[in-house]
């Protein structure tokens, strides 16, 4: 199935991100699936912001190293990217094609991006009305600038005199929705009935903070990430579903809180949007290098769950599930995304998300008579004790090792039993991975998190491959061994320098793996991964 | 209802420690204010005074060193009906958790902070904290502490707290009365309890101070006046 790649580049503030949203949504109206991959430096004005829009009649798409069409706002941006054009690709620079002039005539420099979209749309050979419909929608509540933008589309469209691309539009009409990863996750957070979130800004989770503002949720803007996780723990203890969201740097500060949630058995959802590290790294670029950290963060030993969704549907489902898991097992749940998944715009068939129903399960709760002589940490077969909340009865919650009542206790036997109790809680967990591609394949690809779409795109073209995706690498699902041991070659593909999942997999299964790794902040490009796979398969 | 608020655990403080009197004052204040133990949350720091979590029967939560305030803020935000108190020593509230103190005060969060000031990190065996008086010899300041002390009240007053008081733990009645009022106060309240340690800060055991007749109207009036006792500010 044919995939097309467009790139729009301009200085920060030129409206490149908005253009990507409008264009991809207009493409969705034609029935195309789209992926928008934005790349931008950590600055607010100037520089080079660019987006890649990949579209096709099939879902699951991967960014490309080589592009079909480039539109750059300004000469500098054009020079920066023209080398990425395919041999038969088409490159356009705004002043050369006259976009600045249009904006000037219309009398508003901000419409230059919409004029550019009009132009691109005609190069693609699509009907102008479709783009106009989308622009109408985007400026629905800004009637003053709507007309200016429609004018810009019209005039931009008219600029193109050349032969246009001949792209077949989808025959059957599909309704396609288009969201950023963070938008999807925010939907899940609200639909899971989460009632408290503490978030200190940090790329790539910033838009969760803005999307949750003024919604049915208490949003705490803490003085630092330590306060953030502590307040979320307080809110959960007081009976509300609660969460924090951060990136690696903030998570480093939160680690003591993670241990507190583990020891005091406080349910907590922690969204960890990865970006490159160590330290400040490349602040606006993606990475998958925090898997070891998420699994091991904290002193002492306590149970936790690590979720690693990879596409729109899974992100939504696990976003909902995370709160159930946290409350059912009374553990911290770390839901990992990364800059790639969080800020890409993903497309998905309409109603797919709407059909995902996860019933809210708040786990074991003490009621009525159970509140008399209540023991917060009562021993039980599955290790899980009933929760009560302040306001129901007086009881002790403790970061020190404690007895069943919650009182501090250094007794050796009690300690052993409490460690066993907490460890036992996750023993019954099932699942954690999904298999795609060929059954019994000789070569199995293995990945986790945001590489899912990329690898699904790849196996479309390589049907002889098997592919195992981890959506919950921790607790490690031991059953994968029985599947992977049948393969002749296991190739782990991940976005970090040392092969963190590969090490985990080797340790847990005693299987040998080969690795395809990349941690330069950029996604695994389609042709790059194909090339490296060919080498690894040899 | 269990009105004596006791637990099966006997306090583990040193004989003569101010903790005993503080415990009694808190119990009395809760009873005085007619609060049901199930509706009162105290988030505790880690330290000598924080060990109280095991000695009083209500919703006690032993949190982490320096972090009782942000946990309390989360509790109160999630369920405003609860009475929420954050306890901590000078080490927890002023040193490790100073940022939380300043910001809770700035936001006027509706919690009560009780600071047990014994001028040192007592539980870790008497090292100087941010609140150690200038010149005091401790196990880590053998030549005398070179720095002026930081005061929880000073930090709170410049950042916005609306009820601020200081009381020596030796005066049980006054301490009880002031804690009860602080709990009743809507908005951020803080009581510094002067509670010198019989082991590590013996030389400070007879604190002297001047009771104020009524709260000041201007914040500047009591800034830096660590010898003033009573309700210093009540807005
Ligand atoms: C993060 C962290 N750092 C250090 C400690 C060790 N620690 C335990 S109690 C304490 C000092 C407590 O001093 P203070 O808060 O004044 O309480 P006090 O014992 O004097 O009542 C320290 C430093 C700890 N528990 N956690
Ligand atoms: S060391 Fe000081 S503060 Fe700690 S229990 Fe003993 S007297 Fe009290
Ligand atoms: Mg102290």
Q: What is the DSSP string of chain B?
A: ---S---SPPP-SPTT-THHHHHHHHHHHHHHTT--GGGEEEEE-SSTGGGGGGTS-SEEEE--TT-HHHHHHHHHHH-TTSEEEEEEEHIIIIIITHHHHHHHHHHT-S-EEEEEE-SEETTTTSEE-TTPPTT--BTTBTT---SPPP-HHHHHHHHT-SEEEEEETT-HHHHHHHHHHHHHSSS-EEEEEE---TTT-GGGSS---EE-SS-BSSGGGTTT-TTEEEEEEE-
**Three-state DSSP state, B47:** coil
From A234, A393, A399, residue closest to B74, measured CB to CB:
A234
Q: Give the best-scoring range by mean pLDDT among A44-53, A161-170, A319-328.
A: A319-328
Pick the atom of ligand 2 nearest to B118's CA.
3
Residue of B124, B125, B131, B201 to mutate, ligand 1, most atoms within 8 A of C-beta: B124
The per-residue pLDDT for range B69-108, each reduced to its tens digit, is 999 999 999 999 999 999 999 999 999 999 999 999 999 9
d(CA A497, CA A104): 48
Is residue A153 within 8 A of residue A117, CB to CB? The reply is: yes
d(CA B92, CA B87): 9
d(CA A221, CA A239): 20
B89 occurs within a structural domain: yes
Token digits of residue B47? 């330290």
Helices vs strands, H then E, count in chain B = 6, 10
The per-residue pLDDT for range A491-507, each reduced to its tens digit, is 999 999 999 999 999 99
Q: Judge if the beta carbon of residue B47 lies within 6 A of ligand 1.
A: yes
Ligand that lies nearest to the alpha carbon of residue B93, given by its number in the listed order: 1
Cβ-defined contact of B78 to A242 (cutoff 8 Å): yes
The per-residue pLDDT for range B47-66, each reduced to its tens digit, is 999 999 999 999 999 999 99
Domains A179-355 and A433-537 equal at CATH topology level: yes
Of all protein residues, the one whose alpha carbon is nearest to atom 5 of ligand 2 is B13
**A433-537: CATH architecture:** 3-Layer(aba) Sandwich (3.40)
A386 DSSP assignment: P
Residue A44 reports pLDDT greater than 90: no
pLDDT for B3 equals 60
Cβ-defined contact of B102 to A389 (cutoff 8 Å): no
Residue B170 reports pLDDT greater than 90: yes
Chain B CA closest to residue A198: B74
The per-residue pLDDT for range A340-398, each reduced to its tens digit, is 999 999 999 999 999 999 999 999 999 999 999 999 999 999 999 999 999 999 999 99
**Mean pLDDT over residues A31-43, rounded?**
93
Q: Judge if the beta carbon of residue B152 lies within 6 A of ligand 2.
A: no
pLDDT for A317 equals 98
Across chain B, mean pLDDT equals 97
d(CA A365, CA A358): 19
Chain A residues with CB-CB distance to B79 below 8 A: 238-240, 389-391
B57 occurs within a structural domain: yes
pLDDT for A534 equals 87
Of all protein residues, the one whose alpha carbon is nearest to atom 11 of ligand 1 is B121
Token digits of residue A104? 């000037």
Kindly report which listed range (A97-106, A227-236, B3-12, B138-147) carries the lowest average pLDDT score.
Answer: B3-12
Cβ-defined contact of B79 to A390 (cutoff 8 Å): yes
**Mean pLDDT over residues B136-150, rounded?**
97
Is residue A82 within 8 A of residue A75, CB to CB? The reply is: no
pLDDT for A47 equals 84
Residue of B65, B113, B130 to mutate, ligand 1, most atoms within 8 A of C-beta: B65
* Residues within 5 Å of ion ligand 3, judged at the Cβ atom: B 89-91, 118, 122
Pick the atom of ligand 1 nearest to B90's CA.
16
pLDDT for A14 equals 86
Domain with B102, as residue range(s), is: 19-234
Domain count, chain B: 1
B193 occurs within a structural domain: yes
Place of tokens 């933008």: A149
C-alpha B129 to ligand 1 mean position (Å): 10
Rounded to whole angstroms, what are the CA distances from A401 to A112, A355, A419, B69?
63, 43, 9, 21
**Three-state DSSP state, A499:** coil
The per-residue pLDDT for range A419-434, each reduced to its tens digit, is 999 999 999 999 999 9
pLDDT for A257 equals 98
pLDDT over 70 for what percent of chain B? 99
Pick the atom of ligand 1 nearest to A256's CA.
1
From B69, B72, B74, residue closest to A196, measured CB to CB:
B74
Q: Judge if the beta carbon of residue B124 lies within 6 A of ligand 1.
A: yes
pLDDT over 90 for what percent of chain A? 94
CATH code of the domain containing B194: 3.40.50.970
- Of the candidates A13, A10, A347, A7, the one whose C-alpha atom is nearest the C-alpha of residue A180 is A347
Pick the atom of ligand 2 nearest to B51's CA.
5
C-alpha B123 to ligand 2 mean position (Å): 7
d(CA A511, CA A468): 14
Matching CATH number, A3-174, of 1.20.810.10, 3.40.920.10, 1.10.1040.50, 3.10.580.10: 3.40.920.10
Place of tokens 């951060």: A246
Chain B CA closest to residue A237: B75
d(CA A446, CA A501): 9
Is residue A91 within 8 A of residue A85, CB to CB? The reply is: yes
Across chain A, mean pLDDT equals 96
Pick the atom of ligand 2 nearest to B195's CA.
3
Token digits of residue A126? 């699509």
C-alpha A453 to ligand 1 mean position (Å): 48
B67 occurs within a structural domain: yes
The per-residue pLDDT for range A189-245, each reduced to its tens digit, is 999 999 999 999 999 999 999 999 989 999 999 999 999 999 999 999 999 999 999
Indicate the pairing of strand A46-56 with strand A33-39: antiparallel
B72: contact with A, CB 8 A cutoff: yes
d(CA A446, CA A459): 12
First to last CA, chain B: 34
Residue A82 reports pLDDT greater than 50: yes
Kindly report which listed range (A64-73, A164-173, A336-345, B169-178) carries the lowest average pLDDT score.
Answer: A164-173
- Of the candidates B93, B105, B101, B99, the one whose C-alpha atom is nearest the C-alpha of residue B47 is B93
Cβ-defined contact of B67 to A390 (cutoff 8 Å): no
Residue B1 reports pLDDT greater than 50: no
C-alpha B122 to ligand 1 mean position (Å): 7
**Three-state DSSP state, B3:** coil
C-alpha B89 to ligand 3 mean position (Å): 5
Q: Judge if the beta carbon of residue B121 lies within 6 A of ligand 2.
A: no
Q: Which fold would CATH assign to domain A179-355?
A: Rossmann fold (3.40.50)
Q: Band of the pLDDT at B2, cuts 50, 70, 90?
A: very low
pLDDT for A162 equals 77
pLDDT for A42 equals 81
d(CA A463, CA B175): 77
Token digits of residue A53? 């829009």
pLDDT for A426 equals 98
Token digits of residue A112? 């230059």
**Three-state DSSP state, B103:** helix
Chain A CA closest to residue B39: A391
B12 occurs within a structural domain: no
Q: Judge if the beta carbon of residue B115 lies within 6 A of ligand 1.
A: no
For Cα atoms A204, A432, A365, give the angle at the middle one, nearest 5 degrees. 85
**Mean pLDDT over residues B142-154, rounded?**
98
C-alpha A403 to ligand 2 mean position (Å): 24
Of all protein residues, the one whose alpha carbon is nearest to atom 4 of ligand 2 is B48
First to last CA, chain A: 26
pLDDT for A166 equals 83
Chain B residues with CB-CB distance to A232 below 8 A: 74
Token digits of residue A113? 């991006």
Q: Where are the domains positioned within chain A?
A: 3-174, 179-355, 364-429, 433-537
Q: Judge if the beta carbon of residue B52 lies within 6 A of ligand 2.
A: no
């Amino acid at each position: 199935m044919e995939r097309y790649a467009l790139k729009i580049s301009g200085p920060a503030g030129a409206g490149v991100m908005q253009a990507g949203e409008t264009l991809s949504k207009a493409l969705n109206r034609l029935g195309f699936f789209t992926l928008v991959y934005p790349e931008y430096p950590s600055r607010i004005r100037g520089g080079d912001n660019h987006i890649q829009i990949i579209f096709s009649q099939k879902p699951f798409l991967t960014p490309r190293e080589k592009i079909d069409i480039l539109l750059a706002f300004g000469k500098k941006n054009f020079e920066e990217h023209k080398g990425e054009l395919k041999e038969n690709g088409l490159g356009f620079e705004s002043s050369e094609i006259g976009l600045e002039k249009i904006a000037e005539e219309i009398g508003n420099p901000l419409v230059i991006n919409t004029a550019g979209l009009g132009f691109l749309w005609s190069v693609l050979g699509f009907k102008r009305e479709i783009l106009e419909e989308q622009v109408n929608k985007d400026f629905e509540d800004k009637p003053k600038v709507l007309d200016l933008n429609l004018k810009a589309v019209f005039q931009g469209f008219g600029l193109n005199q050349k032969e246009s691309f001949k792209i077949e539009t989808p025959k059957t009409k599909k309704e396609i929705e288009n969201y950023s990863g963070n938008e999807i996750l925010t939907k899940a957070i609200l639909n899971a009935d989460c009632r408290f979130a503490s978030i200190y800004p940090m790329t790539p989770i910033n838009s969760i903070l803005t999307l949750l503002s003024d919604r049915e949720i208490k949003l705490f803007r803490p003085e630092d990430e330590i306060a953030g996780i502590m307040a979320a723990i307080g809110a959960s203890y007081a009976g509300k579903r609660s969460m924090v969201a951060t990136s690696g740097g903030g998570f480093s500060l939160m680690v003591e809180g993670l241990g507190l949630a583990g020891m005091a058995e406080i349910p907590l959802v922690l969204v960890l949007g990865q970006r490159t590290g160590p330290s400040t790294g490349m602040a606006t670029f993606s990475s998958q290098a925090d898997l070891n950290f998420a699994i091991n963060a904290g002193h002492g030993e306590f149970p936790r769950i690590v979720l690693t969704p990879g596409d729109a549907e899974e992100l939504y489902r696990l976003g909902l599930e995370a709160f159930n898991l946290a409350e059912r097992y009374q553990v911290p749940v770390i839901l990992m995304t990364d800059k790639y998944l969080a800020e890409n715009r993903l497309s998905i068939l309409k109603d797919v998300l709407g059909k995902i129903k996860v019933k809210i399960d708040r786990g074991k709760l003490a009621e009525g008579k159970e509140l008399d002589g209540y023991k917060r940490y009562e021993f039980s077969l599955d290790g899980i004790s009933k929760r009560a909340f302040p306001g129901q009865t007086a009881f002790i919650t403790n970061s020190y090792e404690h007895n069943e009542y919650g009182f501090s206790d250094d007794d050796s036997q009690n300690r052993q039993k409490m460690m066993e109790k907490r460890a036992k809680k996750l023993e019954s967990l099932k699942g954690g991975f999904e298999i795609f591609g060929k059954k019994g394949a000789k070569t199995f690809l293995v990945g986790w998190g945001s590489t899912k779409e990329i690898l699904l795109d790849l196996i479309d073209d390589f049907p002889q491959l098997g592919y195992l995706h981890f959506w919950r690498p921790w607790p490690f699902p031991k059953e994968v061994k029985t599947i992977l041991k049948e393969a002749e070659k296991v190739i782990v593909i991940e976005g970090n320098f040392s092969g963190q999942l590969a090490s985990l997999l080797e340790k847990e299964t005693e299987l040998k793996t080969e690795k395809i790794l990349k941690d330069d902040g950029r996604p695994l490009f389609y042709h790059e991964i194909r090339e490296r796979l060919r080498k690894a398969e040899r | 209802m269990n009105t004596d608020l006791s637990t099966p655990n006997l306090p583990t403080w040193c004989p003569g420690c101010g903790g005993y009197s503080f415990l009694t004052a808190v119990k009395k204040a809760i009873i005085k204010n007619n609060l049901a133990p199930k509706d009162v949350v105290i988030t505790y720091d880690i330290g000598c005074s924080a060990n109280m979590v095991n000695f009083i029967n209500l919703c006690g939560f032993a949190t982490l060193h320096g972090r009782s305030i942000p946990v309390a803020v989360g509790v109160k935000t999630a369920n405003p009906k609860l009475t929420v108190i954050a306890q901590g020593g000078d080490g927890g509230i002023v040193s490790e958790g100073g940022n939380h103190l300043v910001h809770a005060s700035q936001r006027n969060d509706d919690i009560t902070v009780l600071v047990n000031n014994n001028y040192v990190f007592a539980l870790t065996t008497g090292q100087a904290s941010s609140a150690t008086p200038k010149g005091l010899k401790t196990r880590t300041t053998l030549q005398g502490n070179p720095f002026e002390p930081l005061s929880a009240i000073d930090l709170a007053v410049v950042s916005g707290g609306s009820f601020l008081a200081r009381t020596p733990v030796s005066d049980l009645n006054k301490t009880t009365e002031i804690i009860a009022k602080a709990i009743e106060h809507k908005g951020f309240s803080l009581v510094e309890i002067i509670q010198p340690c019989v082991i590590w800060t013996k030389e400070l055991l007879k604190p002297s101070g001047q009771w104020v007749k009524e709260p000041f109207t201007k914040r500047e009036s009591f800034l830096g006046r660590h010898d003033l006792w009573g309700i210093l500010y009540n807005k």
